[in-house]
Structure 1
Amino acid sequence: MLNLSHKKLEVFKESKLLCKEIYLICKLLPAEEKYNLSQQLKRAAISVCSNLAEGSSRKSLVERKRYYEMSRGSIVEIDTQIELAILLKFITEPDILQLTSHVISTFKMLTGMINKE
């Protein structure tokens, strides 16, 4: 594995934990959601990490911000999809306690990075 600077960022570490929680939550979803909600959640979680990593490698401030904003947009997608899963009674509020913490934390850190640069 490459020893790149983004791997030392707290936001990147937090985004990986968020991704892990998404994968655990997806195991609670009904089998018929395997190719719908579950796949969408996983894709968005991977996008958070990937866009953060790619943005960190950009030299241009404008490009970095754009990738960080895409990463934060994926968190908003996750938030919406989790709300739908609760509405549809696929999961419950207690199921997502850890995930909620990671969503909020990652969103705040990314917002700080976007506003700082």
Structure 2
Amino acid sequence: MADINVQKILEQMLDAAKGVLENHWDEAKPFAEQELKALAENLQLIGQLKLEGKITQEQAKYYLEIQKSSVRIVLLTIEGLGILAVEAAINAALNVIRSTVNTALGWTVL
């Protein structure tokens, strides 16, 4: 199993989210940075837990759903951002790292 480079996938996710939220990026940026960093770190944690045999693929998927909900809730607090824009930003952020993360984990979690 390959290691997940948190900084690299964070940069990719932020670029993707910025492209979707460009009209509100100044307001969303600090929140997106914090939440997507936590998501990237949790993806790395899932990899570590898998190596240790402490998490199943199903548990990993549920855990990631919780993380995605956290990102969604935080971004929805920004005035002017609606659910469609927030969902599009989250989907864009995850789409750019999907192959890298799934390959690194050896599981399809994204």
TM-score by length of 1: 0.46
Which of 1 and 2 has greater Rg?
1
User: TM-score, structure 2 length as denominator?
Assistant: 0.48
